[in-house]
Structure 1
Amino acid sequence: MSTRIADRATPSPADRRRRPGGRVLRIVIPALLILVWLVAAGVGGPYFGKVDEVSSNDQTSFLPASADATRVQDRLGDFTSSDALPAVVVMTAERTLTAQDREALTTAVSGLTDVTGVEDGISPLIPAEDGRAAEAFVPIGSSGEVSDVVEQVRERLTEAAPDGVTVHVTGPAGFTADLVGAFAGIDGVLLLVALAAVLVILVIVYRSLLLPVAVLATSMFALCVALLVVWWLAKAGILTLTGQTQGILFILVIGAATDYSLLYTARYREELRSTADKGAATLAAWRSAVEPIAASGGTVIAGLLCLLLSDLNSNKSLGPVAALGIVFAMLAALTLLPALLFAFGRAAYWPRRPVFEPAHEHNAIDPRGLYARVGRLVARRPRAVWIVCVLVLLAGAVGITGLRADGVPQSDLVIGTSDARDGQQALAEHFPGGSGSPASVIVARGDLQKAADTLLANDGVDAVTVTSADSPSGSAPVTERGIGAVGRPGTPAPEPTVADGDVLLQATLTDPADSAAAERTVRALRSDLAGVALIGGETATAIDTNDTSIHDRTLIIPITLAVILVILMLLLRAVVAPVLLILTTVLSFGTALGVSALVFNQVMNLPGADPSVPLFGFVFLVALGIDYNIFLMTRVREESVRHGTRPGILRGLAVTGGVITSAGIVLAATFAALAVIPVLFLLQIAFIVAFGVLLDTFVVRTLLVPALAYDVGPAIWWPHRLSRPAGRHAAVTP
């Protein structure tokens, strides 16, 4: 049997002199690490089924406390005894509804009080003027499972509806149910698709069975522990966990942990070829991988934590949630994976086990390798290569002017079929579009009539009521002639409910609450009632969310760039290289966003994008793109110290090219998996990040950065001593 097989190689004299306890520690420490991760993951695994207990999809709770919509929402309980979420039930027919139809529908609606989760206060059946539709407002308790209650309401009414009558449940409760339903597969389908994609890629890359399992186990254990910590922080109210945050956490941890694992496994393979003992190879690989992994993870964490500057609670919470995920991805890649690979030894790479070769030159470059050949192309025409790359990227970035990221209607958030969206369309055909989702206006009691007159004077307002405990329906109409029923002399007008000297008006809009026309109406009303009233409600919440998102991306993007630039300067001990890396990353992001805009508008025909889409795309692409910069440039710097800058660039590209390509494909595949969740925001993030990562992998890190660095030469390390004449070497081709 060959003595070149490291696990059975003849021990050196130094090995023989090693203390007896050393071998025990080398076995015990990896075993303990595996055991600790196994126990932690075993505890965290069941929390996949408990995420709904601590997650929220209420947009108003995402807004800052200073937003008008938030201030109104916080005070609604002062005027009403219920914080129920209104469901608008719309019943339509192609014919005029008969008296028997209306009677059957009235009975069905009034019987909804038997449904658990439906609160008292169901409105009477309200027929449409055209006689072909009717609506009713059903209050649904916000503390329960809204989606389950909505589904029961829909089923009960559909069963009781006369022939030819179609039932829809829309309004805030209906759209919430649709959104919850869209996220229902996030911990099942999403994980399976992402893990399957990663497994296939790893098997193709390594042509091994055991190594992909070890890498996937590392990713899943990291995700289980991250979810455990995040769940308890959300339970304690420290973090806000939403469906989209949960999906991004899953994908980010799997992708990042796999990337870091790929870097370590590549280093471990190198060491096994030149080192006989697998323990020594493990230690050497760990020492080589810890700096780039820690630096990459630290950079991503710093970029994500910049989201803490956001005024939107959903964005603010995503930063620490995702950062925690990256922390556990790093820890798993630097502790669990080395322990697993130490336990497996060379068998981890079977059937292509790395063989110990005493004559093998450490870090030798195979001149026949793909990236060695790419390096020779870069060395021959560096300036031509980077100029062509820049021109191509700039051409793609032109499309960014067509990106419509100023918000989308709530009815378009869910992709595919949506009963709430169908109901909203039916509602707009037969009733004022804003029925069931009025604008809530809080004014001082003395300004009630003045505010009502202003509201009624706007063509976008159909009707105005004031909340009144004295009224059987809980509210009383307000006209230009005052409160109460007009034309009924002798009937005393109900007294409005007063809280801290204020009253609550409800303005029914003529347009759907999530439409651009409704937003224009609310903005005009806010201008007309500035200093007099606070305006909240569904439309106001959408306005405040979009405005805050635009403010956030204007603030956070430059700060994130500055933070990452400083980290790169400290890591590379240079100024020029980090500046160039940041510029290439920004250019790559611009191209990804420009191409995405063309695809969204011309191919997918999407209705637009949320203002936070560019911000999230930027944070993920820049932070993750810098990962590959760090993988490449830390190795280039290491090789430059030994061989000189230009040879070091070519050697670094040849050694890391395969790792970066594999990591990029894995990360793109995991983010692309987000598209299986039928939510517009996640679909757009999936495409932007997946395309951007592939662009980074195959163009920016493979051609643009090496060519630019090669053209600049040793000056790229300025002011480090590598940039000085004494540190320069003649260019050689590996």
Structure 2
Amino acid sequence: MWDSLASFANRYAVVVIGLWVVAAGLGTLLVPPAEHTARIHARGFLPADAPVNIAGARMGAQFHDGKSGNLNYLVLESDHPLGPAERAFHDQLLAKLRADHQDLDSVTDLWSDPMTAPAALSDDGKATYTILRLPGDLGAAQANRALDQVRRIVAGQPAPAGLRAYVTGPGATIADELSTIDRQMLLMTCVTVVLIALLLVAVYRSLATALIPLMTVGLALGVARSVVSLLGERDVFEVSIFSVALLAAMVLGGATDYGIFLIGRYHEARRGGVSHERALGVANRSVGPVIVASALTVAAALSCLTFAKVGMLRSAGLPCAIGIVTGMLASLTLLPALIALAGRYGLAQPRKLNRKTGLRWRRVGALVARWPAPMLVASALALAICALPVSGLRLGFDEPAAQPDSTLANRGYQAMDRHFPPNRLLPEIVSIKTGHDLRNPAGVIAIERVTRKLMEIPGVTMVQSASRPAGSIPEEATLSDQAGVIGDQLDDGVAKLDQRLSAVNRLAPTLAQFSDALSRLQAGLSGGVNGIDQLNSNIDVMGSGMHQLQNTVAQISGNLDPLRNYTQSNPNCQNDQICSMVLEIVQPVDSLIAGSDVLARGASQLSVSTSRTAQGLTTADHSVGTMRALVAQLSSMAAQLTNVVDEMRTTFSGLTDYLREVRQDFQGSGEGGYYLPQRAWDDPRFQRAAELYFAPGGDVTRVLVYGDGKVFGADGARRSPQIVAAVHEATKEGALAGSTVDITGFGTGTAELRGFVNSDFVLLAAVALALVFLIVLVMLRSPVAAAAVIGTVVVSYLSALGVSTFIWHDLLGKDLHWAVQSMALIALVAVGADYNLLLTMRMREEALARTGTRVGLRTAMIRAFGSTGGVVTTAGIVFGITMLAMLSSDVLTIEQVGSTIGVGLIIDTLVVRTFAVPGIAGLLGRWFWWSPPAFLLGPLRRRTSHQPGPPQNRVG
């Protein structure tokens, strides 16, 4: 099979090369770039069924502000306190954002509400933020596309002088990390290719020879990217920017290794005098199975990432596996064709062998073969020292720290940190669902109980809820403030009472004046009674005189009767001079008689009246005396009332001052005792703020919990379950009893991510190790050898992780990113097994002897070292430097994954493959190749008739 494949590639070299060139060209022309597909079809950072995503979507539906938990923030920062111009910019910008219903689910404007403005506006007045809820899960294509559009809208709005606007938050953090990798991918690829080219030229000392694996790698990468993009565009599997970046590194490293393996064996055969065609066949027959086994090992291990729940790990599996398989196919077809075509023209031929290099590796092999135990102990000690820092391994989940400070998301965080306490944009959001309306004082007081319980959690710095819209208890909702209100009301009441009772102070002098008046009145009445008595006596005298006068006048009138009769008998008396003279005499006398009668009657009546008046005045005199006694009593009572009012005024004044002091003493302390009367709840400010914290039906409320430390890390992950426990504890009874609690936020997401990462790592380790073990077992046909290979690469992985921990954590002070342990495990177990597999297979081949007679294991080991030492070392260093080239990125994830895998490959190449595996083989001897007879011994017997059984420990 392998000879036929080599023969076909040799005979139809131009056709094979042409097919690969056409495939790469058509893929480039007809299929979108892999980066474009990754951007358009990216999926969420966490699984769609992750509890944090479900909780976020449920809250969005309950509050009618979106279908996802993709929170971002608009941050405004100015060189001076925000004023009317900045307010106008803010309002105009929000109007434009609200008009984009496709890219923005909702806007929560805290700055415009007086009740919540203190939380949204910095203490120096130079920064504010607004909550933006975008569609799509974090890291998904929809979310990234919406973020880009929102940022374009913000950038397109002319800002006042000195004002800067940022769109940041958890969603922006994930998007910016991936976009940074996207922008740097070309740089990383170019750096990798340049390093590989320089190494190959240095190794082969021939540009033509170095170009053969480079062309193979380039065309394989082009085809692999097109295949991945095509399948990703049709959603056959998940593709991300991270997977595209890792795909390039894996193909460049893996396919270059395969080229080094094949060219190395081809050169070995050519140096042995074998013809070009036969050398190509020998190389293909010897190395082809190793390439297939290596590629299948790496591809199988990478495919295990498909079982991961975290998007970054899951998306890297199948794309990288396809890249490795494509590199394998190119190495089995395109690479032999290029070697064949170059060989026809005398190119790509081996340089003169540096015998010192070959002898040096044979000496290393002899050293290990002669003293396997000391070499194994020494290598084990070196590996143990390298692995020692693993005991202090801490995985980092700080995504903002994993990307450059210059990303838009990090610049937004930096702006917030300059004006606000840390983590103001990273709250944990808790929703509490009940079966009744909570929009009343009783409901808000119950929410305050939950809020206060949350504030007791270590590390919690602020809680925003319906009871604390701005993060602190409103003064209107405290018992101390209500006491102050009562004091104010008492003071107003006492002031009004004082105004009304001020007449009491004027009552005493009034009563004294009244008493004096009564005294004078009584004295006057007494004098009046005496005067009236005298008057009555005089009236009686006057009456007697009047009677006498009346009698005298009557007598005179009687004497005038003749004259009167004369006048009465003369009808014309007026015209009669004598009669008229008589009439003038008679008429005055008649008038005097009539007047005297009237005077007599008047005198009689006046006498009666004066008698009665005298009696009345006497009674009035007694009444005034009584009244004077009563006024004296009233004056005494007024004095007592004045004293009481003074005492009451003093008492209420002290009470008012006390209540006001209570309000003043507790003002701003948060310890005033929560109490929300209906009057305060009906305040329009509370009602506006309630719209932010209550769902439209009023049966669901949400609480925002802010904490210190690293929310994107252990602090946030540890705090999330504490928040849930505190809410459950505070809702055992009362208005919130029996409620349903949901929580979302990046601390919660980090907690779930840690769980996913740990479970993914265990699953990946188990499945990957099992698959690689089976593949190595099939190739080596010995469970002992396969176990040794797998065991040593696990130790190599731990050593690489230890060295990486020492460099990044102990020296540079940065935790290892959570993706490192899983990605390094898959890569190092798979690739490391390849190098050990190549060595052990060559040892087995040498043990069967090229002459058809068996040689001892030690001899086989020395020969295998001499023939493969330089090739495998070169391949390992090339692959390691390929991964180390990822240090050209300034994304911490890429840097640490690349450096850990690179260091691991170098450790595996120089220590594990060189000393540990051969040392184990030398110690075990024939047991290293032990297997059931039908599995290994049968084929060995069929291939040789000498000395049945495994090779013996003889030094050749």
Question: Could you tell me which residue of structure 2 aligns to residue 706 of structure 1?
Answer: 918
Q: CA deviation at 1:222?
A: 1.5
Q: Distance in 2 between matches of 1:545 and 1:57?
A: 22
Question: Could you tell me which residue of structure 2 aligns to residue 412 of structure 1?
Answer: 401
Q: Distance in 1 between matches of 2:678 and 2:715?
A: 28
Question: Could you tell me which residue of structure 2 aligns to residue 655 of structure 1?
Answer: 867
Q: What is the 5 A alignment of 1:539-550?
A: 539-550=747-758
Q: CA deviation at 1:566?
A: 2.9
1:674-694 CA-partner distances (Å, limit 9, x unpaired): 222222211111111111111
Q: CA deviation at 1:673?
A: 1.8
Q: Distance in 2 between matches of 1:23 and 1:296?
A: 19
Q: CA deviation at 1:510?
A: 4.6
SS in 1 for 2:315: helix
Q: Distance in 2 between matches of 1:26 and 1:422?
A: 55
Structure possessing the higher radius of gyration over alpha carbons: 2
* 2:121 partner letter: P
Question: Could you tell me which residue of structure 2 aligns to residue 464 of structure 1?
Answer: 465
Is the 1:34–1:340 Cα contact (8 Å) retained in structure 2?
Answer: yes
Question: Could you tell me which residue of structure 2 aligns to residue 34 of structure 1?
Answer: 17
1:55-80 CA-partner distances (Å, limit 9, x unpaired): 47988x24345421132245466343
Q: 1:94 to 1:275 in 2, by over 3 A?
A: same
Structure 1, gaps ≥5 residues long? 1-21, 356-363, 467-478
Q: CA deviation at 1:655?
A: 0.6
Is the 1:69–1:535 Cα contact (8 Å) retained in structure 2?
Answer: yes
Q: 1:674 aligns with which of 886, 908, 912?
A: 886
* 2:36 partner letter: D
- Aligned: 1:578 with 2:578: no
Q: What is the 5 A alignment of 1:341-360?
A: 341-345=339-343, 347=345, 349-350=347-348, 352=350
Question: Could you tell me which residue of structure 1 aligns to residue 813 of structure 2?
Answer: 605
* 1:403 partner letter: L
Q: CA deviation at 1:663?
A: 0.6
1:541-589 CA-partner distances (Å, limit 9, x unpaired): 2221111101221333234323322332222111322222222222222
Q: 1:52 aligns with which of 36, 45, 70?
A: 36
Is the 1:346–1:354 Cα contact (8 Å) retained in structure 2?
Answer: no
Q: What is the 5 A alignment of 1:168-183?
A: 168-183=166-181
Is the 1:62–1:313 Cα contact (8 Å) retained in structure 2?
Answer: yes
* 1:398 partner letter: L
Q: CA deviation at 1:194?
A: 1.0
* 1:634 partner letter: M
Question: Could you tell me which residue of structure 2 aligns to residue 537 of structure 1?
Answer: 745
Q: 1:308 to 1:111 in 2, by over 3 A?
A: closer
Q: CA deviation at 1:671?
A: 0.8
Q: CA deviation at 1:174?
A: 3.5
Q: Distance in 2 between matches of 1:443 and 1:223?
A: 52
Question: Could you tell me which residue of structure 1 aligns to residue 161 of structure 2?
Answer: 162
Question: Could you tell me which residue of structure 2 aligns to residue 216 of structure 1?
Answer: 214
* 2:376 partner letter: W
Q: Distance in 1 between matches of 2:766 and 2:263?
A: 35
Is the 2:465–2:703 Cα contact (8 Å) retained in structure 1?
Answer: yes
Is the 2:34–2:244 Cα contact (8 Å) retained in structure 1?
Answer: no
Q: What is the 5 A alignment of 1:306-705?
A: 306-345=304-343, 347=345, 349-350=347-348, 352=350, 369-405=359-395, 407-428=396-417, 430-431=419-420, 433=422, 435-446=424-435, 449=438, 452=447, 455-457=450-452, 458-459=454-455, 460=460, 462-464=463-465, 486-488=681-683, 497=695, 503=700, 505=702, 507-511=704-708, 513-514=711-712, 516-528=714-726, 532-606=740-814, 608-642=815-849, 643-705=855-917
SS in 2 for 1:160: coil
Q: Distance in 2 between matches of 1:385 and 1:517?
A: 45
- Please, which moves more after superposition, 170-179 or 24-33? 24-33
Q: 1:730 to 1:513 in 2, by over 3 A?
A: closer
Q: Distance in 1 between matches of 2:296 and 2:799?
A: 25
Q: Distance in 1 between matches of 2:433 and 2:101?
A: 37
Q: 1:491 to 1:630 in 2, by over 3 A?
A: closer
- Please, which moves more after superposition, 649-658 or 146-155? 146-155
Is the 1:452–1:480 Cα contact (8 Å) retained in structure 2?
Answer: no
- Aligned: 1:131 with 2:125: yes
Q: Distance in 1 between matches of 2:326 and 2:437?
A: 55
Q: 1:273 to 1:402 in 2, by over 3 A?
A: same
Q: Distance in 1 between matches of 2:680 and 2:285?
A: 81
SS in 2 for 1:732: coil
Q: Distance in 1 between matches of 2:930 and 2:375?
A: 23
* 2:51 partner letter: D
* 1:689 partner letter: I
Question: Could you tell me which residue of structure 2 aligns to residue 193 of structure 1?
Answer: 191
Q: 1:71 aligns with which of 26, 35, 54?
A: 54
SS in 2 for 1:507: strand
Give me the TM-score of the superposition, normalised by structure 1.
0.83
* 2:161 partner letter: P
Is the 2:188–2:886 Cα contact (8 Å) retained in structure 1?
Answer: yes
Q: Distance in 2 between matches of 1:690 and 1:678?
A: 17
SS in 1 for 2:742: strand
Is the 1:168–1:423 Cα contact (8 Å) retained in structure 2?
Answer: yes
Q: Distance in 2 between matches of 1:44 and 1:150?
A: 33
1:35-87 CA-partner distances (Å, limit 9, x unpaired): 2211111123355745233347988x243454211322454663436458544
Q: Distance in 2 between matches of 1:56 and 1:502?
A: 39
Question: Could you tell me which residue of structure 2 aligns to residue 359 of structure 1?
Answer: none
* 1:412 partner letter: A
- Please, which moves more after superposition, 89-98 or 208-217? 89-98
Q: Distance in 2 between matches of 1:396 and 1:636?
A: 28
SS in 1 for 2:816: coil
* 2:50 partner letter: A
Is the 1:305–1:319 Cα contact (8 Å) retained in structure 2?
Answer: yes
Q: 1:727 to 1:204 in 2, by over 3 A?
A: same
Q: Distance in 1 between matches of 2:42 and 2:105?
A: 22
Is the 2:103–2:150 Cα contact (8 Å) retained in structure 1?
Answer: no
Q: Distance in 1 between matches of 2:200 and 2:172?
A: 42
Q: CA deviation at 1:532?
A: 2.4
Query: What is the aligned-residue RMSD (CA, Å)?
Result: 3.8
Q: CA deviation at 1:316?
A: 3.0
- Please, which moves more after superposition, 550-559 or 697-706? 550-559
Structure 2, gaps ≥5 residues long? 112-119, 137-141, 468-673, 729-738, 850-854, 942-946
- Please, which moves more after superposition, 141-150 or 292-301? 141-150
1:263-309 CA-partner distances (Å, limit 9, x unpaired): 11122223334566533333332222221111111222222233333
Give me the TM-score of the superposition, normalised by structure 2.
0.65
Q: CA deviation at 1:367?
A: 8.9
Q: 1:433 to 1:447 in 2, by over 3 A?
A: farther
Q: CA deviation at 1:261?
A: 1.1
- Please, which moves more after superposition, 414-423 or 182-191? 414-423
- Please, which moves more after superposition, 271-280 or 329-338? 271-280
Flag the structure with higher helix content.
2
Q: 1:261 aligns with which of 235, 259, 262?
A: 259
SS in 2 for 1:664: helix
Question: Could you tell me which residue of structure 2 aligns to residue 43 of structure 1?
Answer: 26
Aligned-pair identity in percent equals: 28
Q: 1:626 to 1:24 in 2, by over 3 A?
A: closer
